[in-house]
Amino acid sequence: MAFKALILDFDQTLVDSIRDFYAAYNLCLVKYGKPPIEWHIFLQDYRNDRLARFLPDRLQRNFWKDFLHIIGRIFDNCRLLPGSREALLFARGCSFLIAVTTGRYSPSTLFHYWLSLLGIKRLIDAAVTRAEVPTSEGKLPIFVKAAQKLGVDPQECVIVGDYLDDMQAASQLRAVAVGVLTGYMDSKALKSAGAQWVLDGIYQLPLVLSRYSPKR
């Protein structure tokens, strides 16, 4: 099969924004009457996918929805991860269409603004935020929306992300699922979630893209 497009997650895949996630999480805890947690506890629970433990089940759905709205407007500590720009340039050179996605409830204009500030907006063809598919959950509908914007079938895409949901969604869509370890998940967990490739970081992505390039 010919692969035509590259769909990338934003946070912890293209950019290091974990400090923004920490700030948003604590703001949300306070909103729900809970005390903020220390950085090392947050990072440990983020890595082990246990951040839900501070709230009762009945509050989980609303808490995480509010969290995505809060993080949707916090970009204070976003920094490109090493090799992000180079990976995008390589993908363009291979004739991949490129979309960047985020689960944040960010207004599209704000997300495009930050992509411009980071110097990568000109390198992509489309961007999708949770705000464009507000009634859905998980990353799958976001990836589907990105493929639609690019005018391709999800099966014709290489999807790159750092989190379990990214890999599960990519696998369900029968895309090539590429996990990166910059999101603090371990390699075994990403593979169990459906990753066909696991990279130390986005800087290694050209090694994978060269195998799926439309120019092959």
121-161 pLDDT, tens digit each: 999 999 999 999 977 778 999 999 999 999 999 999 999 99
What is the rounded average pLDDT for all residues in the chain? 95
130 vs 157: CA distance, rounded Å: 19
**Which band of pLDDT confidence, cut at 50, 70 and 90, is reported for residue 49?**
confident
Residue 102 is predicted with a pLDDT of 97
pTM: 0.95
SS3 135: coil
The residue ranges of every structural domain in the chain are 5-16+79-212, 18-71
For residue 216, pLDDT over 80 is answered with no
Token pair belonging to 153:
């079938």
Query: Quick one: what percent of the chain has pLDDT higher than 90?
Result: 88
Architecture of domain 5-16+79-212: 3-Layer(aba) Sandwich (3.40)
Token pair belonging to 36:
């903020």
201 vs 178: CA distance, rounded Å: 10
Q: What is the pLDDT of residues 162-187, one digit of tens each?
A: 999 999 999 999 999 999 999 999 99
Q: What is the pLDDT of residues 90-116, one digit of tens each?
A: 999 999 999 999 999 999 999 999 999
Token pair belonging to 70:
């809060």
Q: What is the pLDDT of residues 118-130, one digit of tens each?
A: 999 999 999 999 9
81 CB-near residues (< 8 Å, 6+ apart):
12, 13, 14, 15, 16, 182, 201, 202, 203
